[in-house]
Structure 1
């Protein structure tokens, strides 16, 4: 049996206007205990460019930038078994309490899913006609090989809700 892995606590506060949901942290992120900790993942580069902020490697500063721009962050999977970092290797998953979190933070106006696995799971959890819009964004993972420019173009949709 694979080792069971768990996601991190949500990064959210009462000023959050959108939430970005990934699937579950990869190996590097789990090692660092940081969202999007793999150096090749484009998540932080995209976020900092969207908000015209200077990119920093300091994780606490990264979190402060998210909060400053009213962005919440979490994963759709609370825990699962997985070999490596591929979403396709996820087995025996348990969902995070997304609906409950959204009840607790009613200022969230849109859900953005970082990749297909997150999107499919959110639709299963909340239903296709949930009360706030759910958007699929291209995964920021280095395994999703479309260009940075194309990813960034799609991710710009976030700014409309901030």
Structure 2
């Protein structure tokens, strides 16, 4: 197979949203990776810094808690999770390998969240698809975040932590 040639892969399906009517901040990823799909949990790969980064934002240790408690604590802080892609073909977990993406209807979705004030895009792929769908929305801040993925190594964990700290402004 030639370099850059796409290997046909099974279609991967994203998770349902983790939200409630009090969600003020929605963090959108692209599509769960293989470890997350296998475990049925958002950001399950041990090299993904998501739970540490969002825990730093919330000033709460989420990494050591069971998954169900992590989601409960996010909701208690008004934070929801979802992905911009409903399904796609992707060998492995890299966003650069996503093909045939079926996008979610984000415009309709955010209209159903009355308390929503901000959306944080976890990585470039989420920001690209999310911003394209949402456009400018008065009263809704759109925040591009460096990917929490361990595969995105061009920024240090500390630089990611500082960038993610911008989310604190949207929690109150």
* TMscore range, shorter length: over 0.9
Q: Does 1:44 align with 2:51?
A: yes
Instruction: State the SS of the aligned residue for 1:150.
Output: helix
Partner of residue 3, structure 2: none
Distance 2:61 2:83 in 1: 25
**TM-score when normalising by structure 1:** 0.96
1:102 alignment counterpart = 110
Larger Rg: 2
> Structure 1 segments of 4 or more deviating over 4 A?
none
User: Which residue of structure 2 lines up, in the alignment, with residue 121 of structure 1?
Assistant: 129
Correspondence for 1:10 among 1, 9, 17: 17
In structure 2, how many angstroms separate the alpha carbons of the residues matched to 1:155 and 1:62? 18
Q: Distance in 2 between matches of 1:38 and 1:62?
A: 15
Alpha-carbon distance, 1:19 to partner: 0.4
**Contact 2:52–2:61 (CA under 8 A) maintained in structure 1:** no
Tell me, which stretches of 5 or more residues in structure 2 are unaligned? 1-7
- Structure 1, unaligned runs of 5 or more: none
Over the aligned positions, Cα root-mean-square deviation in angstroms equals 1.0
For residues 79 and 61 of structure 2, what CA distance do their matches in structure 1 show?
17
Tell me the equivalent position of 2:27. Answer: 20
Q: How many residues align?
A: 161
Report matched runs for 1:81-96 at 5 Å: 81-96=89-104
* Structure 1 residue 54, shift from structure 2 partner: 2.5
CA displacement 1:87-123 (0-9 Å, x = unmatched):
0100000011211111111211111100000000012
